[in-house]
Amino acid sequence: MDQHKTTVKRLSVKHLLGIKDLTKEDIEQIFATADEFKSILNRQVRKVPTLRDMTIANLFFENSTRTKLSFELAEKRLSADVVNFASSSSSVSKGETLIDTVNNILSMKVDMVVMRHPAPGACAFLSKHVDACIVNAGDGTHEHPTQALLDAFSIREKLGDIQGKKVVIVGDILHSRVALSNIYCLQKLGAEVMVCGIPTLIPRHIESLGVKVSYNLKEALQWCDVANMLRIQLERQDTKYFPSLREYTMQFGLTKDLLNSIGKEIVVMHPGPINRGVEISSDVADSDQSIILQQVENGVAIRMAVLYLLAERKD
């Protein structure tokens, strides 16, 4: 990456708290950097010494498979020292506050914190109270910026450009940080965005974000170039939003028959974890139209790019 260093444009932000804070130029710089890291990841020697003087702490106060492993791999591919923290096995259970927990970790000479937390705004709060670069790995129902970046990067890789593309996000929009970050990211890159789902799971006034709304999956699929299928987040639902999962699947589950009936080929995405047979059938998830595993692969390059560019930004 030494050659890249001479051409790199600084990000406009010191932390990655949400896509809302990024400019279009920031996103394009992240993609250009991820392109370079992706080609390095496809080499026989996948590791670069770029962040060998940095120590990064991954703080996960909520479960994760993809994001946690992807950040850890990205950090290790950049030769950073990595420490991992899971709230279930920590002193948080003894009543320690978030700021005290993080300041104790930082006193061990940690440079950057990657955090997932169930509270919306937790990363922004932390960034105002501790002296370290904060990367949001998902804060409650608010934002999941690196997921949106890897999603948009995967669409760009598959379709060549985001500008003018039509993307529908289907499912539990109300509880989804992936949906909000995707809306911001895709719109900044010039895509048209629609949300589709059961009315009780579409936030009121979401049109004010400039998105279209559909309550009919077949119509939404006929409109779009890309369908991003989201799971129903039962763990965040404090009330019943629909009669049963079976009825939800009948109305909003993506099946091969439905996909074949729209008369054109679209790209199918899913951020994971998938609930096979609920929001997406197995034959669609595993089909040639699905780029679900490419999304996961691209996550490592995107997270390497984010960490590298934020480390460059560090004063």
> Which positions lie near ligand CP, rule CB under 6 A?
64-67, 138, 144, 147, 271-273
Q: Looking at beta carbons only, is 96 or 286 nearer to ligand CP?
A: 286
Q: C-beta of 295: minimal distance to ligand CP in Å? A: 8
Task: Work out the number of other CB atoms within 10 angstroms of the CB of residue 262.
Answer: 17
Q: Looking at beta carbons only, is 50 or 147 nearer to ligand CP?
A: 147
Q: Looking at beta carbons only, is 50 or 58 nearer to ligand CP?
A: 58
Q: C-beta of 145: minimal distance to ligand CP in Å? A: 11
Count of all residues that appear for the chain in the document = 315
Tokens representing 32 are 């250009």
Main-chain dihedrals φ then ψ at residue 168, nearest 5 degrees? -105, 135
HSE-CB for 231 with a 13 A CA cutoff: 13
Q: C-beta of 117: minimal distance to ligand CP in Å? A: 13
Q: C-beta of 146: minimal distance to ligand CP in Å? A: 9
Q: C-beta of 208: minimal distance to ligand CP in Å? A: 26
Residue 232's nearest CA partner among 190, 164, 179, 304 is 179
Q: C-beta of 299: minimal distance to ligand CP in Å? A: 8
Sheet holding 226-229, edge to edge: 212-214, 192-196, 166-170, 226-229, 267-269
Tokens representing 231 are 């799971």
Q: Looking at beta carbons only, is 147 or 154 nearer to ligand CP?
A: 147
- The radius of gyration of the chain from alpha carbons, rounded to an integer in Å, stands at 19
Which letter does DSSP use for residue 207 in this model?
G
Please check whether residue 169 is in contact with residue 184, taking contact to mean a CB–CB distance below 8 angstroms: no
Q: Looking at beta carbons only, is 48 or 59 nearer to ligand CP?
A: 59
Q: C-beta of 178: minimal distance to ligand CP in Å? A: 7
Which contiguous run of DSSP H or E holds residue 137? Answer: strand 133-139
Q: Looking at beta carbons only, is 42 or 65 nearer to ligand CP?
A: 65
Q: Looking at beta carbons only, is 64 or 294 nearer to ligand CP?
A: 64
- Cα–Cα distance between 96 and 295 in angstroms, integer? 36
- Cα–Cα distance between 30 and 185 in angstroms, integer? 12
Question: How much of the chain is helix, strand and coil, in % rounded to 5?
Answer: 45, 15, 40
Q: 79 exposed, middle or buried (CB, 10 Å; 0-12, 13-18, 19+)?
A: middle
Q: C-beta of 8: minimal distance to ligand CP in Å? A: 27
Q: Looking at beta carbons only, is 144 or 175 nearer to ligand CP?
A: 144
